[in-house]
C-alpha cells in the first residue's frame, strides 16, 4: 500500500470486506459493540486558568475509557472533527492489519468530516489504549490519548476497577499550551511536560470500598515520560503487564526499586483496600532517584468488605500461541542516531521538521510514506528472535504493532518473560525478544517517545 495516493487507495479499497483476512479476521455481525467517536478541539481547566486548543473525544473532558468484551466483534467509528488529518490506533490489540490505523501503511489519513469504521474482534482481554497515528505528536500532546479496556469473557470479581491514564501537558503560566516539543529534546530524552496528570487531574483521589478488591490499570500515554512507579505496602499483586496476565512474577515495587513503565506501557495491579473507612493509600512515581510525585490516592469508604489477598484472582491466559524458543531466525535491529536526512516529508500527517534517529541506519519520516522496505520480513507462522540494540544514551520504549513478543534476555539485567507489545530499552542495552509472526500484514515498529518516532526512529516489519 505504500506509495499510493489517497485517491487511489480509497478507490482500491472501496469494496474491501470489513475486518480483513487471516487468523484475526472478524466475522461481522450486527450484534456488535458499536461506539461512535468524534475528535474535537476543546478547553479544560488544569489549574485556575483554562487551556484552549486541547483535543479530546468529549467536550471539556478527557477522552473516555472505552470498554470492549473479549471475543466479541467491535465497531469503533472514528469521525475526524479536526482541521488536520488524523487516524486512530488501538495500541496493543492484535487485529487485522487494515484496522491498525497507521497512515499510508494500513490506511489513508482521515480528512476533516470523514469517518473511518474500525472493526475487529479483540482476541485478548486486558488493558490497552488508543491514540492517533497521524499528526501523532500534536494530537497526543494536546490530549488525544485514552484507555481501552477489553474485559475478560468471565467477570474476575473485583469490587472496583480504576484506570489511571498518566499524561503530562506543557503549559505556560497563563494556562496556554507551550510548543509540544523542542529540537533539543527530540535529539535527546524527549521534551517533558510540566503538568503531570492522571485522567487529566493533578493528584486525584478515588473512593473505593473499604476492604474491597481493587484493580488498578496504569497506562503511560505520555509522549515522553518514563514513569518509575512504587506502590504502598499493602496486600497486593501485579496481575498483568502490557495487557497480558503475568507469566513470570513481577516484584512489588518500592521506592528503592521502582517499576519502570515507559510511554505506551501498562501495568494492572490488584490490591486489597484498607479496612478502616477514611484510610488512604498513595501511589507515586519518581523523577530521578528521589523526587517522588503523587499519581493518585485511594480512600476507603463504608464498612469493610473484608476481602483477602488470597481473593486476588489469577487472570485467565490470553489465547497466544507460543513462539518456538529453539528458532534460529535472528534479526538485528539497531536504534541509533540518524545518518544525514532533512526533516521534510510529503505526507499529510505532519513533520517535526528534523531527522535525528534511525532504525538500522534508516530514518523513517514519521507518519508518512515509508522510506524503503520493511526493517524485518517474517514468514507467516514462523518464530523469530528480534535483537533490539540501543546504540544511543537515551531510553527507547520500542513498540511493535499487531504481534506480541516476550523478552528472553538482556545484556544488562533480568527482564521477567511476560508477553508485551512495548519494551523499554535502556542505555547500551541489547534485548532479545521472541515473537511468533502469526498476524499477516505490515506492522509499524517504532519508539514510543513520539519525538523520536517523528524524527526517524520508526519503521515497519512485514509478516506474510
**Which residue in 399, 406, 436, 454 binds ligand C2O (CB under 6 A)?**
399
376-378 and 291-301 beta bridge pairing: unpaired
Q: Does residue 444 belong to the site contacting ligand C2O (CB under 6 A)?
A: yes
Rg, Å, the chain Cα set: 21
Q: How many CB atoms lie within 10 A of CB 48?
A: 6
CB 281 within 8 A of CB 298: yes
Residue with nearest beta carbon to ligand C2O: 91
- List the single partner that 133 binds among ligand C2O, Cu ion, none, CB under 5 to 8 Å by kind: ligand C2O
**Which residue in 315, 452, 458, 460 binds Cu ion (CB under 5 A)?**
452
- List the single partner that 446 binds among ligand C2O, Cu ion, none, CB under 5 to 8 Å by kind: ligand C2O
Closest approach of ligand C2O to the CB of residue 100, in Å? 8
Q: Which residues contact 238 (CB under 8 A, 6 or more apart)?
A: 246, 249, 250, 252, 259, 267, 268, 269
**Angle formed at CA 13 by CA 29 and CA 86, multiple of 5 degrees:** 90
Number of residues that bind ligand C2O (CB under 6 A): 10
Closest approach of ligand C2O to the CB of residue 374, in Å? 15
**Which residue in 1, 220, 447, 461 binds Cu ion (CB under 5 A)?**
447
CB 142 within 8 A of CB 136: no
Contact flags string 121-160 toward ligand C2O, x per CB under 6 A:
----------x-x---------------------------
Closest approach of ligand C2O to the CB of residue 91, in Å? 4
- List the single partner that 227 binds among Cu ion, ligand C2O, none, CB under 5 to 8 Å by kind: none
Of 4-12, 42-50, 61-69, 443-451, the segment contacting ligand C2O by CB under 6 A is 443-451
330-337 and 383-390 beta bridge pairing: parallel
How many Å apart are CA 102 and CA 80, to the nearest integer?
Answer: 15
Q: How far is CA 404 from CA 11, 21, 145, 253, in A?
A: 32, 18, 21, 24
Q: Does residue 264 belong to the site contacting ligand C2O (CB under 6 A)?
A: yes
Q: 261 vs 298, which CB is nearer to ligand C2O?
A: 261
**Which residue in 225, 436, 446, 454 binds ligand C2O (CB under 6 A)?**
446
Ranges within 54-93 binding ligand C2O (CB under 6 A): 89, 91
How many Å apart are CA 314 and CA 84, to the nearest integer?
Answer: 44
Closest approach of ligand C2O to the CB of residue 99, in Å? 13
Chain centroid, CA 436 distance in Å: 20
Of 84-92, 142-150, 323-331, 410-418, the segment contacting Cu ion by CB under 5 A is 84-92
3-class DSSP state of 76: strand
Using a 10 angstrom Cβ sphere, with 0-12 exposed, 13-18 middle and 19 or more buried, the burial of residue 459 is buried
Q: Which residues contact 271 (CB under 8 A, 6 or more apart)?
A: 213, 214, 216, 231, 234, 235, 236, 237, 281, 298
Interface residue list for Cu ion (CB under 5 A): 91, 396, 401, 447, 449, 452
- Residues within the interface to ligand C2O (CB under 6 A): 89, 91, 131, 133, 264, 399, 401, 444, 446, 448
Amino acid at each position: 500500500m505504500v506509495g499510493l495516493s489517497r485517491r487511489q487507495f480509497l478507490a482500491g479499497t472501496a469494496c474491501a470486506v470489513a475486518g480483513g483476512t487471516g487468523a484475526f479476521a472478524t466475522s461481522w455481525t450486527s450484534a456488535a459493540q458499536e461506539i461512535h467517536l468524534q475528535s474535537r478541539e476543546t478547553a479544560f481547566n488544569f489549574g485556575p486558568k483554562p487551556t484552549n486548543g486541547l483535543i479530546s473525544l468529549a467536550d471539556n473532558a478527557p477522552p473516555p475509557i472505552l470498554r470492549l468484551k473479549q471475543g466479541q466483534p467491535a465497531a469503533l467509528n472514528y469521525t475526524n472533527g479536526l482541521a488536520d488529518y488524523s487516524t486512530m490506533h488501538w495500541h496493543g490489540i492484535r487485529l487485522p492489519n487494515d484496522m491498525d490505523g497507521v497512515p499510508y501503511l494500513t490506511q489513508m489519513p482521515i480528512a476533516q468530516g470523514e469517518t473511518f469504521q474500525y472493526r475487529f474482534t479483540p482476541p485478548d482481554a486486558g488493558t490497552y489504549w488508543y491514540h492517533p497515528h497521524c499528526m501523532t505528536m500534536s494530537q497526543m500532546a494536546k490530549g488525544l490519548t485514552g484507555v481501552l479496556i477489553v474485559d475478560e469473557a468471565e467477570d474476575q470479581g473485583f469490587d472496583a476497577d480504576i484506570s489511571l491514564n498518566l499524561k503530562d501537558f506543557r503549559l505556560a503560566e497563563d494556562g496556554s499550551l507551550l510548543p509540544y516539543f523542542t529540537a533539543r529534546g527530540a535529539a535527546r530524552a524527549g521534551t517533558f511536560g510540566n503538568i503531570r496528570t492522571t485522567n487529566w487531574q493533578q493528584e486525584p483521589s478515588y473512593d473505593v470500598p473499604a476492604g474491597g478488591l481493587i484493580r488498578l490499570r496504569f497506562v503511560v500515554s505520555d509522549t515522553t515520560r518514563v514513569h518509575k512507579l512504587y506502590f504502598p505496602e499493602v496486600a497486593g499483586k501485579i496481575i498483568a503487564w502490557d495487557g497480558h496476565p503475568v507469566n513470570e512474577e513481577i516484584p512489588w515495587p518500592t521506592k528503592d526499586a521502582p517499576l519502570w513503565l515507559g510511554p505506551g506501557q501498562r501495568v494492572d495491579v490488584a490490591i486489597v483496600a484498607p479496612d478502616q473507612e477514611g484510610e488512604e493509600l498513595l501511589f507515586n512515581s519518581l523523577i530521578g532517584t528521589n523526587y517522588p510525585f503523587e499519581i493518585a490516592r485511594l480512600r476507603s469508604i463504608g464498612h469493610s468488605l473484608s476481602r483477602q489477598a488470597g481473593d486476588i484472582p489469577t487472570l485467565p491466559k490470553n489465547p497466544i500461541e507460543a513462539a518456538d524458543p529453539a528458532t534460529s531466525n535472528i534479526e538485528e535491529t539497531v536504534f541509533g542516531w540518524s545518518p544525514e536526512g532533512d526533516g521534510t516529508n510529503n505526507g499529510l500527517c505532519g513533520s517535526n521538521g528534523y531527522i535525528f534517529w534511525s532504525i538500522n541506519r534508516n530514518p523513517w519520516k514519521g507518519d508518512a510514506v515509508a522510506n524503503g522496505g520493511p526493517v524485518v520480513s517474517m514468514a507467516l507462522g514462523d518464530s523469530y528472535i528480534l535483537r533490539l540494540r540501543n546504540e544511543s544514551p537515551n531510553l527507547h520504549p520500542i513498540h511493535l504493532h499487531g504481534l506480541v513478543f516476550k523478552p528472553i534476555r538482556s545484556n544488562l539485567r533480568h527482564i521477567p518473560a511476560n508477553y508485551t507489545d512495548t519494551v523499554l530499552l535502556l542505555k547500551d542495552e541489547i534485548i532479545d525478544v521472541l515473537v511468533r509472526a502469526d498476524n499477516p500484514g505490515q506492522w509499524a515498529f517504532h519508539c514510543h517517545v513520539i519525538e523520536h518516532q517523528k524524527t526517524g526512529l520508526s519503521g515497519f516489519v512485514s509478516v506474510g
